[in-house]
């Protein structure tokens, strides 16, 4: 894997990297589930959790976890007895935060019996919220080993490890058998992926017939180019935003039918303005996102100038 760029959490990645976060090398003694050449049985309906991180004791926090640990301790939180509410804004690494997650879950009709795959899950905040609030089982995938290990630590600290399986893998080569999941979930993960056809092809492959794809994403607006840096990219060479018509056709070609397609740009502008007008809390995203004020200001500017749009959508597959 490439040498990490310490100045930012997003990768100077090639167009096939699935995550908008820095790709860090895995430790030699990692206990995370790893992708292999053959499909893994971990996502089958019996939810066998082969070689789970808890089998060899708790994961020690790495770089992102150290920043989060410092912020939580400064906020007076007990690291041994965390709740998802203690984690605050840092647990929802996307626009509109927790509201975006719960609204999308309701739109996708998430049920306790569902098994969800969260692609580009990062620190796993939405997975923890869904597992706790809806009672469903979650499998999360991210290319960043640091984020995966931090997610495992936070899952354990919040008492949710038994409902969430963390897999260190590439979204373009998912290590699961066909038809393994009821729902594929993705929030702000596709903006760095050039090969979206392969991304959504893999999503369709691992979904059972009748399954759902739930997305909360940033797409290209009518005015281009966008202002950089932004949270998913410091420079344009790692940003691959699709236009609305292009994305809709691509998803149709991948075997998906639209059941909901909502432009939430106006709501996002209002929310982001309010967020920027208030003080930064001790557990905000600035905890581990370098240059966060500039990136947030550019987000708002891009939204106001119609350079980006906010898409909430649900699809079904037959």
For the segment 64-115, what is each residue's pLDDT rounded down to a tens digit?
A: 777 778 778 777 887 877 888 888 777 777 898 899 999 999 999 999 999 9
> How many Å separate Cα 162 from the centre of its chain?
20
Considering the segment(s) 33-317 as one domain, its CATH architecture is: 3-Layer(aba) Sandwich (3.40)
Q: Do β-strands 115-119 and 181-187 pair in parallel, antiparallel, or remain unpaired?
A: parallel
Tokens matching residue 86: 């203690």
Task: Answer yes or no: is pLDDT of 282 > 50.
Answer: yes
Whole-number pLDDT of residue 219: 98
Task: Give the residue from 187, 130, 203, 119 showing the smallest Cα distance to 163.
Answer: 130
Q: What's the farthest any 2 CA atoms get from each other in the chain? A: 51
182 — phi, psi (to 5°)? -85, -35
CA distance 30 to 207: 28
Count CB-CB contacts under 10 A for residue 285. Answer: 21
pLDDT tens-digit readout, 191-202:
999 999 999 999
- Residue by residue, DSSP assigns 221-259 as -SS-S--S-BTTBSSGGG--PPBHHHHHHHHHHTTEEEE
Asked if 289 and 234 count as a contact pair (C-beta separation under 8 A), the reply is no
| Tokens 């923890």 -> residue | 128
pLDDT tens-digit readout, 122-144:
899 999 999 999 999 999 999 98
Give Cα separations from 7 to 11, 118, 290, 291 (angstroms).
10, 27, 7, 9
What average pLDDT does range 252-270 have in this prediction? 97
CA distance 201 to 317: 11
The band of 284, judged by pLDDT with boundaries at 50, 70 and 90, is low
Tokens matching residue 8: 């930012």
Count CB-CB contacts under 10 A for residue 291. Answer: 14
Count CB-CB contacts under 10 A for residue 258. Answer: 13
Whole-number pLDDT of residue 36: 41
Whole-number pLDDT of residue 283: 55
Give Cα separations from 282 to 67, 89, 90, 118, 308 (angstroms).
11, 9, 9, 27, 29
């Amino acid at each position: 894997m490439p040498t990490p760029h310490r100045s930012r959490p997003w990768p100077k990645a090639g167009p096939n990297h699935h995550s908008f976060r820095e790709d860090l090398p895995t430790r030699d003694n990692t206990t995370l589930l790893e992708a292999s050449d053959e499909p893994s049985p971990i996502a089958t309906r019996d939810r066998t959790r082969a070689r789970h991180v808890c089998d060899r004791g708790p994961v020690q926090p790495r770089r992102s976890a150290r920043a989060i640990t410092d912020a939580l301790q400064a906020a007076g939180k007990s690291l041994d007895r965390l709740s998802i509410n203690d984690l605050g804004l840092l647990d929802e690494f996307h626009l509109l935060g927790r509201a975006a997650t719960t609204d999308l879950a309701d739109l996708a009709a998430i049920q306790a019996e569902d098994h969800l795959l969260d692609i580009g899950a990062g620190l796993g905040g939405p997975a923890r919220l869904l597992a706790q609030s809806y009672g469903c089982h979650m499998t999360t995938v991210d290319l960043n080993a640091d984020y995966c290990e931090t997610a495992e630590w936070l899952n354990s600290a919040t008492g949710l490890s038994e409902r969430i399986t963390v897999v260190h893998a590439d979204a373009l080569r998912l290590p699961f058998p066909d038809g393994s999941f009821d729902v594929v979930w993705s929030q702000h993960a596709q903006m760095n992926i050039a090969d979206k056809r392969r991304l959504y092809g893999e999503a369709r492959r691992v979904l059972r017939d009748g399954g759902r794809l739930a997305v909360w994403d940033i797409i290209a607006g009518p005015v281009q180019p966008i202002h950089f840096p932004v949270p998913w990219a410091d420079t344009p060479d790692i940003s691959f935003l699709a236009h609305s018509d292009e994305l809709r056709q691509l998803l149709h070609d991948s075997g998906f039918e639209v059941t909901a397609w909502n432009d939430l740009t106006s709501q996002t502008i209002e929310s982001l303005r309010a967020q920027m007008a208030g003080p930064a809390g001790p557990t905000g995203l600035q905890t581990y996102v370098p240059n966060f004020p500039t990136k947030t200001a550019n987000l708002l500017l891009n939204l106001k100038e119609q350079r980006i749009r906010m898409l909430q959508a649900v699809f079904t597959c037959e």
